[in-house]
Amino acid sequence: MITVENITKNFGVVQALKGVSFEIKKGEIVGFLGRNGAGKTTLMRILTSYLPPSSGRAFIDGMDVAKKSMAVRRRIGYLPETPPLYSNMTARDYLMFAARLKDVPLKKIKPQVDKVLNECYLRNVADQPIATLSKGYQQRVGIAQAILNDPAILILDEPTNGLDPVQIQRVRELIRNLERERTIIISTHILSEIEQIAKRVLIIKDGAVIADNAIDELLIDDQGRPRSLEDVFLKLNEN
């Protein structure tokens, strides 16, 4: 479903990614972890074809993201760290607008918007201006736009950033419901979130992948004792 082959990305003299390679199979939920500046967002922008790699290749469903960018974007739903919302629009109107941008067929726009409003538990606020919604509801509107075109792949960058504990729990439940049909990559600094949602973890440090394991493997040390993902992350990022 996703193949990354020796991707590098340079910004002037700064090398943000250094030969990153991995594969993600259909239906996997992968937690993507790293400190600020490690290269996570850069890689996600390459996968979504917003940035070209300096070298190497990335494929979505067999399509080169650099050569088939429009086709790739139709296969992906992307939630950036700051969702691209228009605060003066209602949630429903914004989703109708986003559906047109995503080339959802005209006859399917209304039923598709109704569907994602239901899936993201937004129907009771659908006709309120986005500016009046809580941060949690705004995040759900962002997720709703990401799934409008029924993408096979979801890439979520800090989906619970700035939410209170109740809002975080509701967004987690929403992501779990979405996993049944989609491959999902989640980047977050909340390690307990990854423990509860992801089945596999990729950890990136200084632009390189330093760990790629099933989460069950990471949470057991060499002596067979349980450990937290926070312990693993801190140990790998000691220096």
Instruction: Give residue 179's pLDDT.
Output: 67
Supply the CATH number for residue 155's domain: 3.40.50.300
Residue 96 domain-assigned?
Answer: no
Ranges of the chain whose pLDDT falls below 50: none
Instruction: Give residue 84's pLDDT.
Output: 83
Residue numbers of the domain that contains 71: 2-83+150-236
Instruction: Give residue 225's pLDDT.
Output: 82
Instruction: Give residue 92's pLDDT.
Output: 97
Residue 115 domain-assigned?
Answer: no
Instruction: Give residue 56's pLDDT.
Output: 95
Residue 196 domain-assigned?
Answer: yes
Instruction: Give residue 162's pLDDT.
Output: 73
Instruction: Give residue 189's pLDDT.
Output: 82
Q: What are the DSSP calls for 27-57, one per residue?
A: T-EEEEE--TTSSHHHHHHHHTTSS--SEEE
Instruction: Give residue 24's pLDDT.
Output: 93
Residue 198 domain-assigned?
Answer: yes
Is this model's pTM higher than 0.85 or not?
Answer: yes
Question: What is the count of structural domains for the chain?
Answer: 1
Instruction: Give residue 93's pLDDT.
Output: 96
